[in-house]
C-alpha cells in the first residue's frame, strides 16, 4: 500500500533530550538507601529491583513546565505516515504521527476519532501536537461519516490493533500503553472503546455526544472536555452526565471550556492540548511529573468555565 513517511512539514525541530538530572538524583538516593539498608541489615532491599521501582521506565522527555505543555510543539521532532483506507479493515485509514527518533525506545500510543459527518482533518491538529510530546498518534477516518458512537469505539480499537500489530511503526509502539480520544460522536466512541477494552490507559472525549449516559464498566482514567456554548451536544445533556456516569472511584475529570462551542476541538486549542498532554502523560506513561497540572484541578478562568474531578489521584 502507499505509505510514505516524511518529515519536517510541521516545522518542529529536534532538541536535546532530558539532561536526566532526575536520574542522577535517583542514583544518589539509591546509593544512600543501599548504605542505610546495609547498616540495618536489609541488604536484600537494595540492588537493581529497588532502582527500577524508583525509576519510571515509561517516562519520556524532559521535566515539563507550564510553557512546555502550552507550546505548539514539544521536544520530539515528528514524522508521519498516511494509511490508506484500502489497506486496512475495521476503520477508514488515517495518519500516524510519531517521534522521528528511535533513541528513546517505544512510546505509548493513542487513536483519535472525528465526529458525525466529519473527517480526520477535523482532529488532525492533535497529531503533531501530541506526538511531539512523545506519543504515537493515529488520527483516523471512520468507515462512513455517519457511523454512531458504538461503531466509532470499535473503529478506534481496530485502529490501535492496526497500529500495534501491522503498521510500519509497530516496533516504536508499546502495545501495553494505549489510549483513545475523539470529538463529539468520536468522543462518545472513546467511552465505548474504554468500556470494551479496560486495558486502555487513558480516554479523552472532546465535547462528546452519546445517548448512553451510564458508564459503570469503565476502568480507564477519563478526562472529558465540555464547551459552555455547545448547542449540538449541550454539556447539560452530554458531557456532564457522561462524566457523572463514570464510576466515582475512577480517575476522572471534567473540564468545561469557557466561551467555546461544539467545534472548538476542531482547531488548535492550547487549553485542550495542555490538559490532554498532562492526562496522557500521567496515565499512559505513569509520569507523575505531570500531576502538578491536573491536581489541584484548574480553577475557573478565562479559558475554563468549570472543573470537576477526584483529585488527589492515587500515585
| Residues annotated catalytic, as ranges | 184, 230, 262
DSSP string, 116-133: TT--GGGGTTHHHHHHTT
Q: How far is CA 202 from CA 147, 182, 194, 294, in A?
A: 23, 12, 8, 14
State which of residues 112, 158, 203, 233 lies at the interface with ligand 9J3 (CB under 6 A).
233
State which of residues 72, 168, 232, 297 lies at the interface with ligand 9J3 (CB under 6 A).
232
306 binds Zn ion (CB under 5 A): yes
Decide: 220 and 202 in contact? Cβ < 8 Å: yes
Those residues whose C-beta lies under 8 Å from the C-beta of residue 8, and which sit 6 or more positions away, are 77
115 binds ligand 9J3 (CB under 6 A): yes
225 binds ligand 9J3 (CB under 6 A): no
Q: Which of Zn ion, ligand 9J3, none has residue 209 at its interface (CB below 5 to 8 Å by kind)?
A: ligand 9J3
Residue with cell 527500577: 52
Calpha distance 275→280 (Å, rounded): 9
Grid cell listed for 187: 468522543
206 binds ligand 9J3 (CB under 6 A): no
Site string for ligand 9J3, 58-97 (x = CB under 6 A): ----------------------------------------
State which of residues 116, 215, 225, 243 lies at the interface with ligand 9J3 (CB under 6 A).
116
- The H-or-E segment that residue 174 falls in is strand 173-183
Residue 240, number of CB atoms within 10 A of its CB: 18
Q: Which of Zn ion, ligand 9J3, none has residue 98 at its interface (CB below 5 to 8 Å by kind)?
A: none
Q: How far is CA 304 from CA 13, 29, 155, 252, 257, in A?
A: 31, 39, 31, 17, 5
Of 125, 105, 128, nearest to 114 by C-alpha is 125
Which lies closer to ligand 9J3 via its Cβ, residue 131 or residue 233? Answer: 233
Which lies closer to Zn ion via its Cβ, residue 196 or residue 306? Answer: 306
264 binds ligand 9J3 (CB under 6 A): no
Of 7, 64, 9, 22, nearest to 289 by C-alpha is 64
Which lies closer to Zn ion via its Cβ, residue 141 or residue 256? Answer: 256
Which lies closer to Zn ion via its Cβ, residue 104 or residue 306? Answer: 306
Site string for ligand 9J3, 182-201 (x = CB under 6 A): --xx----------------
User: Where on the chain is the footprint of Zn ion (CB under 5 A)?
Assistant: 256, 306
User: Where on the chain is the footprint of ligand 9J3 (CB under 6 A)?
Assistant: 115-116, 184-185, 209, 232-233
Amino acid at each position: 500500500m502507499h505509505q510514505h513517511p516524511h518529515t519536517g512539514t510541521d516545522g518542529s525541530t529536534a532538541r536535546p533530550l532530558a539532561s536526566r538530572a532526575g536520574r542522577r538524583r535517583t542514583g544518589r538516593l539509591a546509593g544512600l538507601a543501599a548504605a542505610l539498608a546495609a547498616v540495618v541489615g536489609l541488604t536484600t532491599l537494595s540492588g537493581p529491583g529497588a532502582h527500577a521501582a524508583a525509576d519510571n521506565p515509561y517516562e519520556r522527555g524532559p521535566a515539563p513546565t507550564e510553557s512546555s505543555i502550552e507550546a505548539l510543539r514539544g521536544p520530539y521532532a515528528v514524522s508521519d505516515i498516511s494509511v490508506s483506507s484500502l489497506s486496512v479493515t475495521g476503520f477508514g485509514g488515517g495518519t500516524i504521527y510519531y517521534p522521528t527518533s528511535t533513541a528513546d525506545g517505544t512510546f505509548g500510543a493513542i487513536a483519535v476519532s472525528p465526529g458525525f459527518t466529519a473527517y480526520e482533518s477535523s482532529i488532525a491538529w492533535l497529531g503533531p501536537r501530541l506526538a511531539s510530546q512523545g506519543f504515537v498518534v493515529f488520527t483516523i477516518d471512520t468507515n462512513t461519516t455517519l457511523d454512531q458512537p458504538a461503531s466509532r469505539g470499535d473503529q478506534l480499537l481496530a485502529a490501535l490493533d492496526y497500529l500495534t500489530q501491522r503498521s510500519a511503526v509497530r516496533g516504536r509502539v508499546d502495545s501495553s500503553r494505549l489510549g483513545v480520544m475523539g470529538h463529539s460522536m468520536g468522543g462518545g466512541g472513546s467511552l465505548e472503546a474504554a468500556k470494551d477494552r479496560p486495558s486502555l490507559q487513558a480516554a479523552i472525549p472532546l465535547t462528546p455526544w452519546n445517548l448512553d449516559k451510564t458508564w459503570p464498566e469503565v476502568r480507564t482514567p477519563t478526562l472529558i472536555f465540555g464547551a459552555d456554548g455547545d448547542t449540538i451536544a449541550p454539556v447539560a445533556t452530554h458531557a456532564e452526565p457522561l462524566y457523572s456516569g463514570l464510576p466515582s472511584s475512577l480517575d476522572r475529570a471534567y473540564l468545561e471550556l469557557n466561551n467555546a462551542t461544539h467545534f472548538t476541538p476542531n482547531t488548535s486549542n492550547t487549553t485542550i492540548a495542555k490538559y490532554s498532554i498532562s492526562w496522557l502523560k500521567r496515565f499512559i506513561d505513569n509520569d507523575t511529573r505531570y500531576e502538578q497540572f491536573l491536581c489541584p484541578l484548574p480553577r475557573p478562568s478565562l479559558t475554563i468555565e468549570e472543573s470537576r474531578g477526584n483529585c488527589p489521584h492515587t500515585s
